[in-house]
Amino acid sequence: MKIASAAFRSLNSGLSHRVHQTQTHLLRSFSSWSISDNGAVKPPTNNSESHEDFEKRIFGEIPGSDSKTDAFFDKLNRLGRNHDRSSSVDGGSSQMMNDLEDSFDTLSDGMDGKLKNAATYFEFDPEELIKDDYAFRYDTDFYPGSTYTLKDLDLTKPGVHKPPIRPEFKVTTKEVLSQADFRNVRFLANFITEAGILIKRSKTGISAKAQRKVAREIKTARAFGLMPFTTMGTKSFVYGVTMENLDKDFAYASVDRNIHDELDM
């Protein structure tokens, strides 16, 4: 600790002595300058002094300086230059970071595209309606092929039940001429209505010859008792179903409920 204190005192005395000599040398140099009457400072009138001699006299070596003090000041100059250089590097790096922060945009990191894809993507199943059997009205069933009006879609009013549309029978003239026979009751049943009336040719689209053959075969089947003479008010003819009047034909559909079980719940 004593050695460090002694070194510091010697260094301080050397610096003060060098500064004092510098000030004295500068004052002596400027004392050779003359001042005119109007207050302007004039350089010395020694025309024989060159520019190099003038700089050496002003900024040159200080009288009384030794090699130790010169080496010390050279070291201080080098430390100062290194400090300035490091400051400039730090300033450049900070400027570079500031430029990067200014030019950085969060939308340029690819996240904008990912968010857009996630927002516009919607997974759906085209057969979802068929699988889950969605219904617009809970009190009415709309069968495939049925038609409806705007009144049917009004949820403030009760729904009106519409029977399913009977699938239309499609046949050609060639099929009628080859299959129409009084023994083929299943085929002939497609040409009569529920009331037993022969369907017009404009609906079936067959020729007049085929229409006459169908009417003749139906008449023959009725004569043999294979097809009934159905009229309004009786059962419609359905192949494979008896025409006999049964009790279940006149019964209403009912649901049996256990009243005791409902009361227990």
Gap between the Cα atoms of 75 and 90, Å rounded:
22
Gap between the Cα atoms of 29 and 41, Å rounded:
13
- From 145-154, 162-171, 241-250, the region with the lowest mean pLDDT: 241-250
Query: Under CATH, which number does the domain 173-243 receive?
Result: 4.10.640.10
Gap between the Cα atoms of 115 and 83, Å rounded:
49
pLDDT of residue 236: 63
pTM of the full predicted structure?
A: 0.33
Coil, helix or strand at residue 248: helix
Q: What are phi and psi of 68, to 5 degrees?
A: -65, -45
- From 89-93, 193-197, 202-206, 213-217, the region with the lowest mean pLDDT: 89-93
Query: Token pair of 117, please?
Result: 């894809």
pLDDT of residue 213: 93
Task: Work out the percent of the chain whose per-residue pLDDT is above 70.
Answer: 44
**203-240 pLDDT tens trace:** 888 999 999 999 999 999 888 878 777 655 566 666 66
**Beta bridge partner(s), residue 41:** 35
Would you put residue 258 in left (φ > 0), alpha (ψ -120 to 50) or beta? beta
Q: Are 207 and 173 in contact (CB under 8 A)?
A: yes
Task: Work out the percent of the chain whose per-residue pLDDT is above 90.
Answer: 8
78 vs 43, higher pLDDT: 78
Query: Token pair of 103, please?
Result: 């030019």
CA-derived radius of gyration, the chain? 60
pLDDT of residue 212: 93
- Provide CB contacts within 8 A for 165, sequence distance 6+: 143, 145, 146
- From 124-133, 149-158, 172-181, the region with the lowest mean pLDDT: 124-133
What are the extents of the domains in the chain? 113-165, 173-243
Gap between the Cα atoms of 51 and 216, Å rounded:
144
